[in-house]
Structure 1
Amino acid sequence: MGHFSCVIQDGGAAHAATGELERRLEELHGSHYPGESVSVSWRAVPEGYMFTEGRPSTSSIVACVVGHPTQLAEREAYMRGVCDIWTDVTGCTDHEVVVAVTEIDPM
């Protein structure tokens, strides 16, 4: 089973688009790993609690867990897909989304 854990800014562009982001992340996961189920969870950080270079942050963090070993090229394509979704839906830049993929379920 795969899982996306998303940390976003309360009131930010990603917060306003969680439904669309979730739908597209599920589609992306299904296109890379057919038949593997996936879930998405959200943590909206209150405004003023995340900072980049001493200023309020506009960044989002997307941690992905996949249910099997992957190769580097496969992970890169998957991560690029997450970034493309995020920038397309929210209007942010690549510098405003942090994506990490792990093959080990931390739970």
Structure 2
Amino acid sequence: MHMTPDKFAALADPTRLALLSALATGEKTVNELTAPFDMSQPAISRHLKILQEAGLITRRIDGTKRPCRLAPDGLEQIEAWANMMRRTYTANYDRLDQVLASLPKGDAA
């Protein structure tokens, strides 16, 4: 599976993770998202632009407001990649367990 780095890069920043968490409860305006941060509205807008470009959020125009919401399929690619990695690691550890179990037991003295 090909995983594009833009989603991971977008998620690597704690402010962007906090913005996604805030959007988990529903659509919010940029001003609503800015309120809990010690950051300017333009700085929050730059973070939102990165999240939007990564396909993690969507924005719409509502008069002078630009409400944001989580993109419906934004995390699917990351979830699929994580599941593939989980299966790979599980298979590797299972093989390691088999090899270790087949080794002769040493004397415990």
Greater helix percent: which structure?
Answer: 2
Q: Which has the higher contact order (CA 8 A, sep 6+)?
A: 1
Greater strand percent: which structure?
Answer: 1
> What TM-score, normalized by structure 2, do the two folds share?
0.25
Larger radius of gyration: 2
